[in-house]
Every structure is written in structure tokens, then in C-alpha cells.
Amino acid sequence: MLDFDAYLHRIGLSPADSPTWQTIHRAHATTIPFENLDSHRGIPISLEQTDLEQKLVSNRRGGYCFEHNLLLASALEHIGLRVEPMLARVGGGAPQTRPLGHLVLRVTDGEGCQWHADVGFGLGTLLDPIPWGPSGVHEQSGWSFRVVAESDELVLRTLKPEGWSDVYGFLPKPAPRIDIEVSNWWMCTNPASPFVFGLIASFNHPDGRREVIWDWSGKVQAMVMSPEGVVETQEPREAIPSLLAERFDLPGFELGPDGRVRVSS
């Protein structure tokens, strides 16, 4: 990481306090929003370290999974942890029907213990790291997660009112950087990618509330999610810039003539 102190300030921590890596994980997950505004407006996502820090730290923007988790990885490596990124497939069902569209981290701490870390899942990421592999149920601010083994994959699941649901599955094998770059390029440029044709922004509050807006079908949905349920409203497209500014601390956007979000002129 090029400016570790600036990153800590971005996520509300003080370098003088020497926060633990678990504290850094939670602070990142509850400070930097998830958003796909660049790919939505036709700008490919750079995973270069300079660009990640410029965008998410200096410019106080958000990002999607590749950006979030590579930024976190660089911070954890900065304090001496071993971090291995792995590509995952979102949702459940046959693996061959889902692209490798998510990134998750395996972190090895100073005592040799391995952890599952992820601050970049848009619809309900982990707030805290959990032990690596199948290890029972882990409750975080009212949300429950567990990892199960299915064939060669590990699958992260979360508990919803209707029961356990697959979040994503992945082979527990570190991904080469070139494979991460290829997956990122597909997700941020392919017209079939939801991060190109759609729009999403989300924010995790420390108390477990999740605020989300999305538009993947021409209708803007706004949600406040909690372990007890979901409150959902439909919003006019004209409300997107104000929603981004007020709920996600993402000011400076407007709607262009094509109805897509762009930087304010």
C-alpha cells in the first residue's frame, strides 16, 4: 500500500492506535460504499494500486469487489499478513453457468491461522473475517454466515427469512493476477455484465443495516435491509443523484441525456 495512513483515515481509524487487521476489515466494510458507477458509465476499472488508492481513498469513491478486496489485501500485506485472492462465482447452481465475477481473500495471520475475508460483496458482504473453511455459523451484527463444502468448492451461505441461501462458491485455490485481470475486464466491459448494463450502490452500517439502490431492469429500487426483513421502495430515475449523495456519500453525479449516471458538468 502506497499510503497506509491515508487509508486508515479513510476508514475512520487512527494510525496511532495500531488497529488490528480484524478492526481494519470491519472499518473498511462499514465505511467505503460498494458501487459500479464507472463501469455503468463506460469507464473500465483499473486494478493498479495507484488507481485503487486514488479512487477509493483520495477521491472518497466506492468500488466493486475487485477494487475493494485488492485494496484491503494491500493494506493487510502492508502490516505483514499473507493474503491470497481467489475467484468466486456468485449465487448457486451449476458452476459452469456463472462467471468468475467475484473476488474473496484467504488471510493467514501471524500465528498461522487462516481466515476468510471479504469486504466487497455488494448485497451483504462479511463485516468481520470468519475462520477459513467449514466452521459452523458466524453471527455478525444480526446476520449469520457459514461456509460449507460442496464437491471441490467452498460455498459461503447466509441466513435469510426463508432459510440458508448461497452467496457465492469458489475453488480454494489462489488466482494468478492475470486471471483476476481477465475476470475484472469481463465484469466491467462486457455488455452482458450486470455491472455494465445495470447500476448498484450499497452501504453497510455497523449495526447491520444495509442500504441499497439498484437498477437492473429500468426500475430504480431502494432498499433498507436488516436481519428482520427488507423495506423496499421504487424511486424515479431523477432521484438517483440525490440518493447517491445522501445515502452513500457519493456526490457529484447527474443523469445524462441517455439516462445513465455521469459526473456533474
Q: Is 261 exposed, middle or buried (0-12, 13-18, 19+ CB in 10 A)?
A: buried
Cα 119 from Cα 234, distance rounded (Å): 27
Considering 28, 38, 40, 65, which one is annotated as catalytic?
65
Cα 61 from Cα 78, distance rounded (Å): 22
Considering 28, 102, 116, 188, which one is annotated as catalytic?
102
188 is catalytic: no
Considering 40, 118, 188, 215, which one is annotated as catalytic?
118
Cα 19 from Cα 31, distance rounded (Å): 15
CA dihedral 109, 111, 115, 119 (to 10 degrees): -30
Assigned C-alpha cell, 215: 437498477
102 is catalytic: yes
Q: Is 202 exposed, middle or buried (0-12, 13-18, 19+ CB in 10 A)?
A: buried
Contact 151, 8 (CB under 8 A): no
Cα 174 from Cα 85, distance rounded (Å): 6
65 is catalytic: yes
Active site residues: 65, 102, 118
